[in-house]
Structure 1
Amino acid sequence: MPNLVRLTAAIALLFACTAQAADWTDTSLSYRYGTKFAEPFNDNDITKNIVNLSSVSGYKYGKNFFSIDLLMSSELDPSAAGSNSGAHEAYVVYRHTLDFGKIFNKSYAFGPVRGVGATAGFDFNSKTDAGYNSKKRMVVAGPTLMMDVPGFLDISLLAIWESNAPYNTFTNQATPRYAYKTHAMLTGAWGIPFNVGIPLSFEGYANFITGKGTNEFGGGTAPETNIDMQIMYDISETLGTPKNTFKIGVEYQYWKNKFGNPDRTVPGATAKTPMVRAEYHF
């Protein structure tokens, strides 16, 4: 885990440096907490504390998004076989979106669509737990529609190239890196401000992922639905700080067939998780 922390810190520093050349940037440190997380092959409700560092920035031809989650589980998701401590996980996401209208100095707007572009990026994770010890590596690429809404709503259809190389601490058996079948993801990400007497925003993402063929153990996989949404309240004015500095809110995640595990046969493969969330933007 220390090596992973150093790696993610180095990546965060790299993107902090590149953000200096951006036209605009929004970097945030956040914390969220929930008691109803689920993990495949585990029928317990798991408590997790999650610390996140995110940065979104825009430049002449598009925008960048970078996020690191550090997830700390309760002992019901143990760090090793027979351990009384909870698992730790780091999950990194990067997306780069090119805006064709900005590149070619031409409007591609039509109907409810403000612009057209293309998105590419990657995910990777590392988790220390009693069973699977995920080492996910994933690359994505595909077209993006930027919708004409207050704030933003981007919808992308992405091809996914994903692999994993887990290690089972019960059997002490490592699985060679295994590439799943190339599959697809319809994904949306949004941040839409609104006001009901207080400044609020509706934020989140939704991923609809097709099955990825046979898994590394010869079993089948199922399509995934992962929807994570939050209502956030900007309390900056109350604290005497600039707008959008401090936010608090509630979050809910619905994740069916988590990681492609069919919930009809795998306990813990669907999560319905309410959370509380706090953010500091700088």
Structure 2
Amino acid sequence: MKTRHAATTLLIGLCSAMITSTAWAEMKWQDFSLTYLNGSHYEVGDKDRQVFTFEHASGHNWGDTFFFMDRLKWDDGTTENYMEFSPRLSLSNLSGSELSFGPVKDVLLASTWESGEGFDNLLYGVGFSLDVPGFKYFNINLYKADNDNNDDDEQLTWTWGLPVTIAQEEFLWDGFLDWSSASDTNKAEMNWTSQIKWNAGKHLGLESPLYLGIEYSFWNNKFGIDNANERNASLLVKWHF
């Protein structure tokens, strides 16, 4: 399959660039976190479930990476694993020319590997890192998706993080929006998931944030299934270290 070959080539190329660049690469920042979620209005499968998530994100002079793995435990005892790995390669760094313009800080080659129970999807395309006042980060990626069990489609992904301070209390609103186009095997879907959380860690003497809050999932046609619309609020505990 040509698209699978192109997606695999790009992902391998980005990973190779990451590995071979270790001698000269500058790491600007990195972050590790563990999250616990508990919700009761999930769609597709048991409505009650717990989710344990490990995340790592990093920024470099050559681009950035984001990785997470979910361990889902349904109320009926069923367990499931799901992960995504998303490296992006800076075209400014690759070309040696500054590609910033207007609110765009950089243009990047973007890819994502999605892996779950019985499938591996590969996404490839172009990403934009934007400078939006007040936001810690604001990114948009445009992908072509090569899917294992469904027809290939296109996807738009938007991620953001907005820190807010109210009466010296630290809050963070962050999340993502995924929109995927329709095909013969699945409906167009939109997953808008965000977290609103308060940093309790500063009151416990912790140097890194320990967040308490809520994650809300607004997901139309979940997994491309017609009318599988999820409206789920989950209690959240998230520790950065």
TM-score in terms of structure 1 length? 0.72
Distance 2:26 2:115 in 1: 25
Q: What is the Cα deviation at residue 22 of structure 1? A: 6.7
Equivalent in 145, 153, 170 of residue 183 of structure 1: 153
Equivalent in 29, 37, 48 of residue 34 of structure 2: 29
Q: Tell whether 2:219 aligns with 1:278.
A: no
Point out where structure 1 has 5 or more consecutive residues left out of the alignment. 1-17, 76-85, 127-134, 165-179, 215-220, 264-268
Structure of greater Rg = 1
Q: Report what 2:15 is aligned to.
A: none
Q: Is the 8 A contact 1:183 1:209 kept in 2?
A: yes
Q: What percent of counterpart residues are identical?
A: 25
Q: Is the 8 A contact 1:68 1:92 kept in 2?
A: yes
Q: What is the Cα deviation at residue 60 of structure 1? A: 2.5
Equivalent in 115, 118, 137 of residue 152 of structure 1: 137
Amino acid at match of 1:119: A
Distance 1:95 1:60 in 2: 16
Distance 2:79 2:206 in 1: 34
Distance 1:182 1:38 in 2: 23
Q: Report what 1:139 is aligned to.
A: 122
Q: Is the 8 A contact 1:193 1:200 kept in 2?
A: yes
Q: How does 1:9-48 map to 2 (within 5 A)?
A: 23=27, 24-39=29-44, 46-48=47-49
Distance 2:92 2:140 in 1: 16
CA gap 1:22/1:122 in 2 versus in 1, 3 angstroms: farther
Q: Tell whether 2:233 aligns with 1:262.
A: no
CA gap 1:64/1:113 in 2 versus in 1, 3 angstroms: same
Count, aligned residues: 215
Distance 2:90 2:189 in 1: 28
Supply the RMSD in Å over aligned alpha carbons: 1.8
CA gap 1:199/1:144 in 2 versus in 1, 3 angstroms: same
Q: Residues 98-156 of structure 1: CA distance to partner in whole angstroms, max 9, x if unpaired?
A: 12223334332222222211211200112xxxxxxxx1210001111111023111101
Distance 1:233 1:22 in 2: 31
Q: How does 1:177-216 map to 2 (within 5 A)?
A: 180-197=150-167, 198-214=169-185
State the SS of the aligned residue for 1:37: coil
Q: Report what 1:96 is aligned to.
A: 87
State the SS of the aligned residue for 1:36: coil
Q: How does 1:44-193 map to 2 (within 5 A)?
A: 46-75=47-76, 86-126=77-117, 135-149=118-132, 150-164=135-149, 180-193=150-163
State the SS of the aligned residue for 1:163: coil
Point out where structure 2 has 5 or more consecutive residues left out of the alignment. 1-18
